[in-house]
Amino acid sequence: MLCDLCHKNIATVHLTEIVNDKIIEMHICQDCAQTKAEEISKQPNISEFLGGLADLGKDKSEEYSLKCSLCGLSYGDFRKTGRLGCAHCYVTFRKFLLPLLKKIHTSTRHAGKVPLHIDKDLSNEVKLKELRKQLQRAIKLEEYEDAARLRDEIKKIDKGKSEI
């Protein structure tokens, strides 16, 4: 099979690219693969991007000296790789991660989908917690109709839990 790019050499590298949600499979020779690798290396690195967002207007000395007590990862290492070392890193670097998450996701709280394999009780607990929070807010703002609706939703979920 000849190279899809130069149509001269035998294809030895099989490359799959996703461009604009379309999968493109290419069979290319070693020379074209080298050229393609150089193109890819010139593209921006996501971990450098994330690190750059965290840099905006901050004193770096405190950040770089901070280390996770469990895995030993420093915040500087996180900024270089874009990866945390363990779950405790989220607690250790919380002060620096929250503004970063806020910039990227416009929120620091997960509001997306929940995996199907998650236990239904756990999902209900999360929903109950949010409903109770909304209920307290409605009561504080004296929105009694909303408060009554929220109370009924909470009772419905609690009743479903007790029947199991």
Domains of the chain, by residue range, sit at 1-43, 46-105, 120-163
**Looking at residue 111, what DSSP letter applies?**
-
pLDDT at 23 over 60: yes
pLDDT at 158: 82
Tell me the residue type at 10. Answer: I
Model pLDDT for residues 65-99, shown as the tens digit of each residue: 789 999 999 988 888 888 899 999 989 988 888 88
Q: What is the crossing angle of helices 94-105 and 46-55, to 10°?
A: 110
SS3 state of residue 68: coil
* Residues 54 and 96 sit within 8 Å (Cβ to Cβ): yes
Q: What is the CA radius of gyration of the chain?
A: 25
